[in-house]
Amino acid sequence: MKAKVTAAAEMKIGEIDRRVFGSFIEHLGRAVYGGIYEPGHPLADEEGFRTDVIKLINELGVPVVRYPGGNFVSGYNWEDGVGPVENRPARLELAWGVTEPNKFGTNEFMRWCKKAKTSPMMAVNLGTRGPEEARQLVEYCNHPSGTKYADLRRAHGYNDPWGVKLWCLGNEMDGHWQMGAKTAYEYGRIANEAAKLMKWVDPSIETVLSGSSNRHMKSFGDWEATALDLAYDNVDYVSLHQYYDNKTGDTASFLAKSMELDDFIYSIICTCDFVKAKKRTKKQINLSFDEWNVWYHSNDDYVEKWSTAPHQLEDIYNFEDALVVACMLITLLRHADRVKIACLAQLVNVIAPIMTENGGRAFRQTIFYPFKLMSKYARGAALKPIVDSPKYDCKEFTDVPYLETILTYDKENDEVVFFGVNRSMDENILLDVKLLGFEGYKAVSFESMDGHGVLEENGFDCEKVTMHSNPVPQTDGDVTTADLKPLSFNVIRFRK
């Protein structure tokens, strides 16, 4: 089949905020213990951080990491995780039914962020705790000295404040599974008061209001409108969470899930702007999509109650999952004007692009590759593509374009990049990419992920689902013609 995409230098959606390539580490399963932190591992450094994992995270390109949860944060006492390790208590961790040893806490995370060349996005507990403990944690992290919590940090060996800029106000507070779940009104009030005090401690921080746990929640929409109405002045972003699955084995519908994602994002933008209009304010609330991924392969796995760092939510991803992740990323970039932060959930071992063995190896899952390529090349501005693509109908959606795409323009480096997924299971797309206002640009590289069965996976012994290079497509004037294989993720770079 044939398709055509046109992009123009002047038709920008918005600048891409690097933080959309964020990720997430929760105290859950082996994300921390056995993931980023494993003293005694042959490749652990003197602080117990796995250097093989840090290397892979650097390769992936992750500028911000959300921590420490997730559902975990709603029962977390941050004080348990600071100070001499031998004095820290082990706790019953109710969110995931395990024992939390507290060997790794706030300061270890900050140290790890520095080594991993990323930055922290902290979450505060608004489930079992409230504004008081939240403001104390901001003081502990960000105040220089001369007060109780700043001096406590110094007594723990960290003289300089960590300067944490981004703060999530709780997590999924609308969910019945959440410790201290709340109504939108209860949450909006407590989030507002917490954010207010946190910003009084450090006016330079930005805060993220917890939105609905997903768009299928009964209170979806009302939740955001009510909570935002109550907390508008003290928050900067509203969060979105969404995971997709293919439990029914319906690949055509699974690949089209990003259409639902697009609608979800649009609904939240509208809700933010509805509250903005109601308040007659100039302040705009942007979006933090701080949990997104495919998640379902591990849902029925057995986890021993009250064990420590069990194998939990260790999804092994396949090729079609990687294509869905690519479509999700493309969709996030298509909203670059409003989605300023996004976190692939999660980063290591728990529904993650990187898997490790305790004491052993690590490997890159299939979803690692689209994320890596997009984090590396999607720089500058997202361009609004005019897409002329054949469409299909499936069980869950109608009019699904076979081609899912975004283009980016990095003015500083004179580079335009096309990212596209061919959703067709059996047909190539003969694609024309027309670039307007980019005189002298031509295709210089073409990488793709294709030729795999939808269920093909990577493992410790084989990373076969990866990207590969193709012959550079021909550019004739402002049109470049490329052949996109069935079920493929494609990256074409253009330079002057």
For residues 28 and 467, which CB has a smaller minimum distance to ligand AHR in the complex? 28
For residues 192 and 346, which CB has a smaller minimum distance to ligand AHR in the complex? 346
Q: Does 345 bind ligand AHR (CB under 6 A)?
A: yes
Q: Does 118 bind ligand AHR (CB under 6 A)?
A: no
The residue sitting closest to ligand AHR, measured at its beta carbon, is 70
Least separation in angstroms between CB 292 and ligand AHR = 10
Distance (Å, whole) CA 267 – CA 94: 33
Q: Dihedral through CA 175, CA 181, CA 182, CA 188, nearest 10?
A: -80
Stretches 67-75, 81-89, 318-326, 486-494: which one binds ligand AHR (CB under 6 A)? 67-75
Tallying the residues shown for the chain, one arrives at 496
Distance (Å, whole) CA 139 – CA 126: 17
Q: Which helix (H) or strand (E) holds 416?
A: strand 415-422
Among 79, 93, 100, 172, the active-site one is 172
Contact with ligand AHR (CB under 6 A): which of 108, 193, 202, 291?
291
Contact with ligand AHR (CB under 6 A): which of 22, 25, 26, 121?
26
- Answer yes or no: are the C-beta atoms of 327 and 404 closer than 8 Å: yes
Contact with ligand AHR (CB under 6 A): which of 346, 375, 408, 480?
346
For residues 95 and 407, which CB has a smaller minimum distance to ligand AHR in the complex? 95
Q: Dihedral through CA 142, CA 144, CA 148, CA 149, nearest 10?
A: 20
- In 351-469, alpha helices (H): 368-377
Distance (Å, whole) CA 421 – CA 414: 24
Stretches 64-72, 125-133, 277-285, 454-462: which one binds ligand AHR (CB under 6 A)? 64-72
User: Scanning the structure block, which residue is given the tokens 């840090």?
Assistant: 54
Q: Which of residues 215-274 bind ligand AHR (CB under 6 A)?
A: none
Stretches 32-40, 68-76, 127-135, 363-371: which one binds ligand AHR (CB under 6 A)? 68-76
Q: Does 171 bind ligand AHR (CB under 6 A)?
A: yes
Among 291, 320, 415, 457, the active-site one is 291
For residues 70 and 310, which CB has a smaller minimum distance to ligand AHR in the complex? 70
Long-range Cβ pairs for the range 460-465 (8 Å, 24+): 460/355, 460/357, 460/360, 460/361, 460/363, 463/363, 463/364, 465/318, 465/319, 465/322, 465/366, 465/369
Least separation in angstroms between CB 27 and ligand AHR = 9
Least separation in angstroms between CB 345 and ligand AHR = 4
Mark whether 172 is an active-site residue.
yes
Q: Which helix (H) or strand (E) holds 105?
A: none
Least separation in angstroms between CB 300 and ligand AHR = 16
Tokens in use for 474? 């021909």
For residues 172 and 321, which CB has a smaller minimum distance to ligand AHR in the complex? 172
- Answer yes or no: are the C-beta atoms of 330 and 489 closer than 8 Å: no
Mark whether 404 is an active-site residue.
no
Q: Give Cα 137 distance to the centre of its chain.
A: 24
Q: Which of residues 450-489 bind ligand AHR (CB under 6 A)?
A: none
What is the widest separation between alpha-carbon atoms in the chain? 69
Could you list the residues that contact ligand AHR (CB under 6 A)? 26, 69-71, 171-172, 291, 345-346
Catalytic residue list? 172, 291
